[in-house]
Each structure stands twice: as C-alpha cells, then as structure tokens.
Amino acid sequence: MQTTKLGSNGPTVTALGVGTWAWGDTLFWAYGKDFGAKDVEEAFQASIDAGVTFFDTAEVYGLGESERLIGKFSKQTSQPLQIATKYFPLPWRWSRSSIVDALTSSLERLQTSQISLYQIHWPLEFILKTKDFMEVLADEVKKGRIQSVGVSNYSAAQMTLAHQYLSEKGIPLAVNQVPYSLLNKQIEQNGVLQKSQQLGITILAYSPLAQGLLTGKYTPENLKTLQGARRIDPRFSPQGLQKLEPLFSTLKELSEKYDKTPAQISLNWLISQGNVIPIPGAKNANQAKQNAGALGWSLTKEEIELLRQKSN
C-alpha cells in the first residue's frame, strides 16, 4: 500500500484518504434519502479491505454524526486507523478552553483517546487568533491527544503564520486541507501549493473529484436524478457538461489505456503532484473500492501535463 507522511515528521497514512462529509449530512448530501447508515458502513469496510485506513471528518459534518459513525465503525475492526477531524469556532467558541473542550467531544464521538490530525476548519482570524489555536494544539500534541496539527482553507500567508507559531513550540504544521482537483487548480495560482512545498506541509485535497463531476457518470440525460445542493451548481447543467467535454474525452482515452475509471485517473493525477493526498468521498462500497483503484500505478509525465492542459 502506498503511504505518505503528514507533514515533515507526522504520522504515516495511506496515500489516499476517505472524506466523510457526506456521512450523516442531510443538507448538502441528502444523507438518509438515496443512501444511509448501512451504505456508509459498507463504504468504511470496503475502504479498510482495500487497505485505505485514513479517514477525514469534522465535528460539523452531520452535526457530529460523521464522527459518531466512524467511532462506531472503528470498534468493528482490528485494523489500526488514522483519523483526522476539525474544529470550527462558531457560534460562540472563541476561547482557548473552547478548543480543548471541542477536541474532547470529538474524541468521545470517535471513541478514541488519540487522533492522527486535528485541524482548524476555517481561518476565522477575527474571532480566534491563529497564535491561540496553534499554542493550544501544540500543547495537545505534547499531551498525546493528537499526533499532528493542520489547518484548512488557509491562504499561503495564513498558512505561513500558522507554521511560524507552531515552529516556535517545536512542532511542524503538518497539513493544509484545501479544494484541489483537475477542475479546481486555484492553489497552483494563489501560492498555496508552492509555499506548502517550501515548508514541507502536506496538501489534503478535498473535493478531488469536483463533487462527482470527474467520475464521468453525469450526462445531460441523468442530471435530473441529482440530490442536494449540486442541483444549483452551474457545472452540473447541460451547458456546464458541454464545456468540460475536451477533458472528459481525454479522461476516457486514458481510462481505456490503463483499464481504470475517469475517477481513478483524476485521483492519480493529484497523487502524481507529490505531497498531495486526495480525500474523495465514498457513499457506498462501490465508490470506496473505485477510489482505492487510484493507488499502485501512475500516469506518465506527458499524460499529467496533457490533463492539466485539457482542464484549463
């Protein structure tokens, strides 16, 4: 199994993770309508069976339900897991003690005494100073409740500041979790990718399949079956799909060459960037198995560049 480290000396995790935003989330992902607890339990088990043991969640996913599900599932396997979760300071949790309390609650829902990674979900500097957050979490690393510290949705400047405060405590910043895919390469333009490489910070790429667009399963004919907020995303429209046809066509050609799906090609492209861990969602066993098929092989440099050009 391909593995990588979180940051320069954080825990070792699988080179692909499982994003669990959809687990328990009724608002965006329509959990409980076209999929439910049994489906995500099977997705969890299929991931483990395929050797993927890194799960990313957050306390706000399903208002704690995602963490509760992972905690429950983790008790049904003897396989060691690497779990990452996140803290969100709203509505009124702005003090240092709020961070400690939130971590305690997450650990209780996850039914564990230690997690691999704890991240601040958004850089709400006007509410909670980065310095406070980093100092509290440096203490939690020393206490042993978390193995590494990360941020999420941070700009290059914000990430550098977090890195600096942590470094003063002798702990490296391990991760910045940001959107990154063939259809969202913003971090290549705004300095985040370059700065993360300089500082040895791992990118956790969320929405690596652009919320399903890169799976190749959406056509103008089946768009009406979409559930949740994607129904109002202009990319999920006949015109949006038409615009993406050159990329879809290249993905299809590479799928045939490698006997892989468009999703596996798209995930492999991200892994090929180096120090990037995609965390695609999996709502059922089939999706989990498919995601794992992105590991154990690689596109050529020419193919990586071709995909970049077709997705611009």
Active site residues: 61
- Say how far apart CA 181 and CA 156 lie, in whole Å: 18
Q: How far is CA 236 from CA 144, 193, 210, 296, in A?
A: 44, 27, 10, 31
- For 80-200, strand residue ranges (E) read 82-87, 117-120, 149-152, 173-179
Q: Cβ distance 101 to 83 under 8 Å?
A: no
Q: Cβ distance 245 to 213 under 8 Å?
A: no
- Say how far apart CA 265 and CA 269 lie, in whole Å: 6
List Cβ neighbours of 45 (8 Å cut-off, separation of 6 or more): 73, 77, 285
Which one-letter amino acid corresponds to residue 263? A
- Say how far apart CA 33 and CA 18 lie, in whole Å: 21
DSSP 239-288: HHHHHTHHHHHHHHHHHHHHT--HHHHHHHHHHTTSSEEE--B-SSHHHH
Q: In this structure, what token pair is assigned to residue 153?
A: 């949705």
Task: Give the CA count within 13 Å in the CB-facing half-sphere of 147.
Answer: 19
Q: Is 82 helix (H, G, I), strand (E, B) or coil?
A: strand
Q: In this structure, what token pair is assigned to residue 53?
A: 């043991």
- CA-wise closest residue to 188 among 86, 305, 84: 305
